[in-house]
Amino acid sequence: MQTVSIGEIQKNISLITKLTQSVMVVDKRKNKNIAIINPITTNSTIASLAGKYANRGIVAENLDSVIKSVMSDTMRGKYGLSD
Protein backbone atom coordinates (compact mmCIF):
# COMPACT_ATOMS: atom_id res chain seq x y z
CA MET A 1 0.00 0.00 0.00
CA GLN A 2 1.33 3.40 -0.94
CA THR A 3 0.98 6.53 1.17
CA VAL A 4 0.10 9.88 -0.37
CA SER A 5 -0.35 13.28 1.26
CA ILE A 6 -3.29 15.57 0.61
CA GLY A 7 -1.03 18.09 -1.08
CA GLU A 8 0.23 15.52 -3.56
CA ILE A 9 -3.35 14.61 -4.47
CA GLN A 10 -4.22 18.29 -4.95
CA LYS A 11 -1.22 18.79 -7.23
CA ASN A 12 -1.78 15.65 -9.29
CA ILE A 13 -5.32 14.24 -9.30
CA SER A 14 -4.28 11.52 -11.76
CA LEU A 15 -2.86 9.67 -8.75
CA ILE A 16 -6.45 8.85 -7.83
CA THR A 17 -7.82 8.26 -11.31
CA LYS A 18 -5.14 5.75 -12.30
CA LEU A 19 -4.96 3.60 -9.18
CA THR A 20 -3.72 0.05 -9.47
CA GLN A 21 -3.36 -0.65 -5.75
CA SER A 22 -4.72 0.73 -2.48
CA VAL A 23 -3.49 4.16 -1.37
CA MET A 24 -3.46 5.55 2.17
CA VAL A 25 -4.06 9.31 2.40
CA VAL A 26 -2.01 10.91 5.18
CA ASP A 27 -2.17 14.37 6.75
CA LYS A 28 1.50 15.13 7.28
CA ARG A 29 0.92 18.13 9.57
CA LYS A 30 -1.10 16.18 12.12
CA ASN A 31 0.52 12.80 11.40
CA LYS A 32 -2.87 11.12 10.92
CA ASN A 33 -4.14 8.58 8.46
CA ILE A 34 -7.18 10.12 6.81
CA ALA A 35 -8.45 7.55 4.34
CA ILE A 36 -7.69 4.42 2.40
CA ILE A 37 -8.64 4.59 -1.28
CA ASN A 38 -9.15 1.35 -3.17
CA PRO A 39 -9.10 1.12 -6.98
CA ILE A 40 -12.36 0.53 -8.80
CA THR A 41 -12.82 -3.04 -9.86
CA THR A 42 -14.29 -3.83 -13.23
CA ASN A 43 -16.56 -6.52 -11.79
CA SER A 44 -20.11 -5.33 -11.34
CA THR A 45 -21.68 -6.00 -7.95
CA ILE A 46 -25.22 -5.50 -9.28
CA ALA A 47 -25.62 -9.12 -10.36
CA SER A 48 -24.43 -10.46 -7.02
CA LEU A 49 -26.69 -8.09 -5.09
CA ALA A 50 -29.76 -8.89 -7.18
CA GLY A 51 -29.83 -12.52 -6.06
CA LYS A 52 -32.98 -14.35 -7.12
CA TYR A 53 -34.38 -11.19 -8.79
CA ALA A 54 -31.49 -10.85 -11.27
CA ASN A 55 -33.49 -12.13 -14.25
CA ARG A 56 -36.77 -10.33 -13.52
CA GLY A 57 -35.96 -7.07 -15.30
CA ILE A 58 -38.08 -5.83 -18.18
CA VAL A 59 -36.27 -5.78 -21.50
CA ALA A 60 -37.58 -3.21 -23.97
CA GLU A 61 -36.66 -2.84 -27.62
CA ASN A 62 -37.58 0.83 -27.85
CA LEU A 63 -37.22 2.93 -24.71
CA ASP A 64 -39.18 5.90 -26.14
CA SER A 65 -42.29 3.80 -26.72
CA VAL A 66 -42.10 2.42 -23.19
CA ILE A 67 -41.79 5.93 -21.74
CA LYS A 68 -44.79 7.15 -23.77
CA SER A 69 -46.97 4.23 -22.73
CA VAL A 70 -46.10 4.60 -19.05
CA MET A 71 -46.71 8.37 -19.20
CA SER A 72 -50.10 7.89 -20.87
CA ASP A 73 -51.10 5.26 -18.29
CA THR A 74 -50.09 7.63 -15.50
CA MET A 75 -52.01 10.56 -16.97
CA ARG A 76 -55.07 8.35 -17.50
CA GLY A 77 -54.95 7.28 -13.87
CA LYS A 78 -54.29 10.74 -12.48
CA TYR A 79 -56.60 12.89 -14.63
CA GLY A 80 -59.05 10.31 -16.01
CA LEU A 81 -57.96 10.97 -19.60
CA SER A 82 -58.73 8.59 -22.42
CA ASP A 83 -56.95 8.05 -25.73
What are 11-49's pLDDT values in tens digits? 888 888 788 888 899 988 888 999 998 887 666 666 667
Return the higher-pLDDT residue of 77 and 51. 77
Return the higher-pLDDT residue of 76 and 49. 76
Nearest to 27 by CA among 10, 39, 12, 40: 10
51 pLDDT above the threshold of 80: no
pLDDT attached to residue 26? 92
Reported as a pLDDT band with limits 50, 70 and 90, residue 63 is confident
Contact residues for 22 (Cβ-Cβ < 8 A; gap 6+): 1, 2, 36, 37, 38, 39
Return the higher-pLDDT residue of 83 and 3. 3
